[in-house]
């Protein structure tokens, strides 16, 4: 059956629009009123299920006064539908106990939701009212313990449950004052409460004790109780003293042990709103506090708060290398330091994993948030002692200020996350304050991600080849296959723009295998055309993500078999990150790759967590010196020393050395003088497409 809704609106066009909307939503809205007097009249005539009430209407009384009179005369729920939301109007409206308050303009979904909730709530309240009389008697009588007193407050009866709960037997309790048998204290202040029986005897009214009351048993034990004390009149019933002929003869105390219930509620609250590991508020509680802070800003635009998102640096490495128990203890220790770094009324929460969030309340200026961020990083920079081990970490912090307008909590948290990741990009132990430019950059990155998926699907990727030249023979001994993105509108996109994205999105595996296939195909063409030496090789980069795939080797072997390429013609280039993430697994997979006859090259050595143990532990063939050590090494003594040492060490370990980024004749001369095996760089040739590569002057003289 359709709900019947009365519309009280003084603008006929608005009222008519509302009728159409309500009819479309499945309600009956045939009746309208433009004044308070007419609204009261129609409420009496049609007895609607709900009234939508505008506040500014025709007549001598406004919508709030109209609602108040309807509340006094009829049992009809009222929902305000108005354009007015000032504090005074809302305060007046609240006094009429409305079932909803919708601000114009509104969304149909909001209107429907409010109406449905109002109808449901009213129906429930109506049912409760119908049952209230007998429910009241039942609820006032049910309990684990019953103690009765006479009109002087002396105990005359205990039931067995009361004996057990108080520790007093009926024989011991009878004749004693109620305050001696039923001794209660405030759980917080520990103060003994005034005897409630005396109050009931004096007022003749039922008295309910406040929450958090403890009953002191005869042996001194304490239990949480929930109780009421009611008067007893001469007809032996528990009723209010509105019977002038009734004589007050005593009181009855009805109480129950709610200790387990209180503990259960506390535990549920803790489980629902607190992190079990650190005892900090969790994400749900953080959202609640953040919502409160946003509401304060709405009420007072000058109120300033900040949200800090924190992510621990190197936590995954710590967790993987030292174990999760150590990682958990580190999180607990970090939580304690975070609490020390902020004020007592600020909120520190753990969102999950190694992510924490802080709400800094009542800031005087934006710079205070920066000072707190600096203090946090200073606190966390000190070593942690966990199980006898010294652990170093810090955090990246993203900061969002409430002065940046956010319509939704999710938007605020998103922007804090953006700022945190921007801080992480700057290096360890950094913080960044969010600005709208960051959001635009993220949106641009998101668009680029979508375009990259299209690029892979529509074959927009191409392969360029950069020659690798032997210094002793001055001949091309191989090529490195480098992927490029030929965007149909933006032209050639640099790998530095899309390769990190491909890594994050997990697309790098697809790209690497595609490049390997294309490179093998091109190598086959060169071999058939006899353009280069029969020993020419192709180097292809292999992301560390491949090492997390169970079928990594199968895919590589499948491509080489399909292309009918000798495995010895292929070199796979890996980075130090690959070796660092899972040393044991990397060693096993690299050994299997080497067993296939494929050569292994360690790329960009010296730029990460470099360790000479890599050169011994893994079956490597080639060591590539990163361009940062090659640049101006003939003038930069530090670069020269490092490059020379790397060449000597690699040769001692029977590794071939290739220097990347060679751009000048002076750099070339230095490398040649110190017996570097090969070079790669713009001095000889940049990465080229197949067409440009065919025009390359192979006979170019490297050394004069």
CA-derived radius of gyration, the chain: 39
Distance CA 526, CA 535 (A): 11
Distance CA 432, CA 373 (A): 9
| Residue the block writes with tokens 């080497």 | 594
Q: Classify strands 248-257 and 145-150 as parallel, antiparallel or unpaired.
A: antiparallel
Helix 315-322, helix 324-341: angle, nearest 10: 140
Contacts of 382 (CB under 8 A, 6+ apart): none
Distance CA 540, CA 554 (A): 16
Calculate the alpha carbon distances from 323 to 333, 489, 586 in Å: 16, 49, 19
pLDDT value at residue 457: 87
**Where are the domain boundaries for CATH 3.20.20.450 in the chain?**
448-693
Smallest CA-to-CA distance from 205 within 236, 182, 228, 235 is with: 228
Distance CA 457, CA 357 (A): 39
pLDDT value at residue 298: 87
Please identify, in words, the CATH class of the domain defined by 276-434: alpha beta
pLDDT value at residue 529: 85
CA angle 56, 60, 61 (to 5 degrees): 55
* DSSP class of 490: T
- CATH node for 5-139: 3.40.50.2300
Mean pLDDT, consecutive 10-residue stretches, the chain (704 aa), reads 92 92 92 93 94 93 93 92 89 91 89 92 84 49 77 89 89 91 86 87 83 86 82 55 61 83 72 86 91 89 92 87 90 94 92 93 90 92 90 91 81 89 83 79 74 87 94 91 91 86 85 93 89 87 84 87 91 83 80 92 70 76 90 86 90 93 92 93 91 66 42
**Where are the domain boundaries for CATH 3.30.450.20 in the chain?**
142-260
pLDDT value at residue 254: 83
Distance CA 660, CA 627 (A): 5
Report the sign of the C-alpha dihedral through residues 59, 62, 65, 66, in that order. positive
Helix 36-46, helix 63-73: angle, nearest 10: 30
**Where are the domain boundaries for CATH 3.30.70.270 in the chain?**
276-434
pLDDT value at residue 701: 41
- CATH node for 142-260: 3.30.450.20
User: Is 448-693 a CATH 3.20.20.450 domain?
Assistant: yes
Helix, strand or coil for residue 6?
strand
């Amino acid at each position: 059956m359709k709900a019947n809704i009365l519309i009280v609106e003084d603008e006929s066009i608005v009222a008519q629009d509302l009728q159409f909307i309500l009819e479309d939503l499945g309600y009956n809205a045939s009746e309208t009123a433009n004044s308070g007097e007419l609204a009261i009249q129609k409420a009496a005539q049609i007895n609607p299920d709900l009234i939508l009430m505008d506040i500014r209407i025709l007549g001598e009384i406004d919508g709030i006064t109209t609602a108040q009179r309807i509340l006094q005369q009829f049992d009809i729920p009222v929902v305000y539908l108005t354009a007015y939301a000032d504090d005074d109007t809302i305060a007046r409206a609240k006094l009429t106990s409305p079932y909803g308050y919708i601000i114009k303009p509104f969304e149909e979904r909001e209107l429907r939701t409010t109406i449905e909730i109002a109808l449901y709530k009213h129906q429930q309240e109506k049912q409760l009212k119908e049952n209230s009389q007998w429910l009241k008697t039942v609820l006032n009588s049910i309990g684990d313990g019953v103690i009765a007193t006479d009109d002087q407050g002396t105990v005359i009866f205990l039931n067995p449950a009361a004996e057990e709960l108080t520790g007093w037997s009926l024989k011991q309790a009878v004749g004693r004052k109620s305050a001696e048998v039923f001794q209660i204290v405030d759980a917080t202040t520990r103060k003994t409460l005034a005897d409630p029986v005396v109050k009931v005897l004096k007022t003749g009214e039922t008295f309910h004790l406040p929450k958090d009351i403890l009953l002191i048993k005869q042996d001194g034990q304490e239990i949480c109780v929930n109780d009421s004390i009611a008067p007893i009149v001469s007809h032996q019933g528990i009723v209010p003293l509105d019977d002038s002929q009734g004589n007050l003869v005593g009181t009855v105390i009805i109480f129950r042990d709610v200790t387990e219930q209180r503990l259960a509620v506390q535990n549920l609250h803790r489980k629902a709103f607190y992190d079990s590991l650190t005892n900090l508020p969790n994400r749900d509680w953080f959202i609640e506090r953040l919502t409160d802070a946003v509401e304060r800003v709405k009420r007072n635009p000058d109120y300033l708060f900040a949200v800090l998102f924190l992510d621990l640096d190197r936590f995954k490495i710590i967790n993987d290398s030292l174990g999760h128990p150590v990682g958990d203890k580190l999180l607990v220790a970090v939580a304690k330091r975070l609490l020390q770094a902020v004020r007592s009324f600020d909120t520190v929460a753990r969102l999950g994993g190694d992510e924490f969030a802080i709400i800094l309340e009542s800031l005087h200026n934006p710079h205070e948030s920066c000072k707190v961020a600096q203090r946090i990083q200073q606190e966390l920079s000190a070593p942690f002692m966990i199980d006898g081990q010294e652990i170093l970490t810090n955090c990246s912090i993203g900061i969002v200020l409430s002065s940046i307008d956010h319509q939704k909590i999710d938007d605020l948290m998103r922007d804090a996350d953006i700022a945190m990741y921007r801080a992480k990009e700057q290096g360890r132990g950094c913080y960044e304050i969010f600005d709208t430019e960051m959001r635009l950059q993220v949106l641009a990155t998101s668009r680029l991600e979508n375009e990259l998926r299209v690029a892979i699907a529509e074959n927009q990727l191409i392969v360029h080849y950069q020659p690798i030249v032997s210094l002793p023979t001055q001949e091309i001994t191989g090529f490195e296959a480098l992927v490029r993105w030929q965007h149909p509108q933006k032209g050639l996109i640099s790998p530095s723009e899309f390769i990190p994205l491909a890594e994050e999105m997990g697309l790098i595996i697809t790209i690497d295998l595609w490049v390997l296939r294309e490179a093998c195909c091109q190598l086959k063409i060169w071999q058939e055309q006899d353009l280069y030496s029969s020993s020419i090789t192709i180097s292809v980069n292999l992301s560390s993500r491949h090492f997390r795939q169970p079928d990594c080797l199968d895919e590589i072997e499948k491509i080489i078999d399909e292309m009918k390429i000798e495995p010895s013609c292929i070199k796979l280039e890996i980075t130090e990150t690959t070796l660092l993430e899972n040393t044991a697994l990397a060693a096993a997979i690299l050994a299997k790759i080497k067993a296939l006859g494929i050569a292994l090259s360690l790329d960009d050595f010296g730029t990460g967590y470099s360790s000479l143990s890599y050169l011994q532990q893994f079956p490597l063939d080639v060591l590539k010196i990163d361009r940062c050590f090659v640049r101006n090494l003939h003038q930069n003594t530090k670069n020269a020393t490092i490059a020379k040492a790397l060449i000597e060490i690699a040769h001692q370990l029977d590794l071939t050395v290739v220097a990347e980024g060679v751009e000048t004749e002076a750099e070339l001369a230095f490398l040649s003088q110190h017996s570097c095996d090969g070079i790669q760089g713009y001095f000889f040739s940049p990465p080229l497409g197949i067409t440009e590569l065919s025009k390359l002057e192979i006979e170019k003289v490297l050394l004069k």
